[in-house]
Homo-oligomer: A and B are copies of this chain.
Amino acid sequence: SNAINLALMPGDGIGVEVMDAAMGVLQKLARRHGLGLSTETLRAGAFAYRQDGTAMSEETFRRAEAADAILLGAMGWPGIRYPDGTEIAPQLDLRFRLGLYAGVRPIRAIPGVPLALAHPRAKEIDMVILRESTEGLFAARGRGEVIEDREARDTMVITRATTERLSRFAFRLAERRAAKLGRPQTVTLVDKANVFTSMAFMRKVFRDVAQEFPHVPSGEHYVDAMALDLVRRPWDFDVLPTENMFGDILSDLGAGLIGGMGYAPSADIGDTHAVFQPSHGTGPDIAGKGIANPTAMILSAALMLDWLGSRGAGQAWTDAAGELEAAVDGAFAAGLRSAEFGGVGTREVAQAVADRIP
């Protein structure tokens, strides 16, 4: 039959724990909706590097590439590093090698989850930070230079092609969100066009693309002002495309607003492939304790179902995505508390969500 083939890459530390918990929920959901799912677990990450000398083998990469979608836990570990001292991060390699330019990082207040901001409107927070994930400052990864132990350089690269793709992705996302939420969605480019040539270039290309979507409101915001406004009035923003490094920073800031990294899912999407993973890391301080919050992983699985649905897997997948998100919301609204807030552990959170799937 037309089963969807998922590559599971649990990775290191709590990546393994939240993947396991989320898969339990996903399997129940798949049964209920009659979704054909086959899975294959692939080994990659810091511990793979330590044991095998490679963080992600070519064979592993090829299998991931051949799958319909990739679900990833988290990768990296303190003390396990490449010889040059940088992090073991095959998730970055996947972004580059599979051309996953659109880093979709939804920041949404889940009813019942404690919010960081005192303002009553904080519960309205519902935006997507769209982190370009293949160039920007990260184009320098593995290419930086040190000159005579005196000076070091990394070069930020912005291309027209990628900026066009990212911008179109942002406008289409705004259209879909407007239809779903029943209110207009503004696309706001976050840049630093007042100082940098590359950023002025990015803004120019963004504006060109904006003209293709005259019915979608759009604008621009400097990254420093955006960091301020994410603290002062985050409920005013919808879809925020931005440069890779800026997106890395702003999406963590955003996660802090809505309960922390345990509530921040992500999707790295390209024209042909996509990886879905929680925004959090491997949690070395809490790994093995059974207290990691699986919510971000579960919500990442929902993003995956939605993406598969939008790519022709069928309406059942889209419906399942909506139901999974509703199950998460329902569980927390009914009083579920994760361990960061003095509540229950990984299995219990996943169970509470699963219990809301009929």
Question: What residues make up the interface of A, taking CB atoms closer than 8 Å to B?
Answer: 76, 84-87, 89, 92, 115-119, 137-138, 140-141, 143-146, 149-161, 192-202, 223-225, 227-232, 245-246, 248-253, 255-257, 260-261
Contacts and interface: CB of A to CB of B under 8 A. Distances in A.
Given A140-B197, A198-B144, A160 B154 contact: no
Contact of A157 (B141, B151, B228): B151
B260 A144 contact: no
Given A116-B119, A152-B202, A155-B155, A197 B160 contact: no
A225 B86 CA distance: 16
7 contacts: A86-B195, A89-B195, A138-B195, A144-B198, A153-B155, A227-B250, A228-B256
Given A231-B116, A232-B116, A232-B256, A153 B198 contact: yes
Nearest to A135: B151
> Which 6 A/B pairs are nearest by Cβ-Cβ distance?
A144-B197, A231-B256, A152-B201, A87-B194, A152-B198, A227-B253
A86 B203 CA distance: 12
A224 B249 contact: yes
Q: By CB atoms of chain B within 10 A, which of A145, A249, A260 has the most?
A: A249
Q: By CB atoms of chain B within 10 A, which of A157, A195, A198 has the most?
A: A195
B152 A154 contact: no
A193 to B, nearest CB: 7
Given A116-B118, A155-B156, A227 B252 contact: yes
Nearest to A160: B150
Contacts of A161: 150
Given A152-B202, A160-B149, A231-B116, A195 B87 contact: yes
A152 B204 CA distance: 12
A197 to B, nearest CB: 3
A130 to B, nearest CB: 16
A153 B143 CA distance: 14
B140 A151 contact: no
A36 to B, nearest CB: 37
A200 B86 CA distance: 8
Nearest to A259: B232
B197 A152 contact: yes
A29 to B, nearest CB: 30
B200 A228 contact: no
Contact of A160 (B140, B151, B157, B223): B151
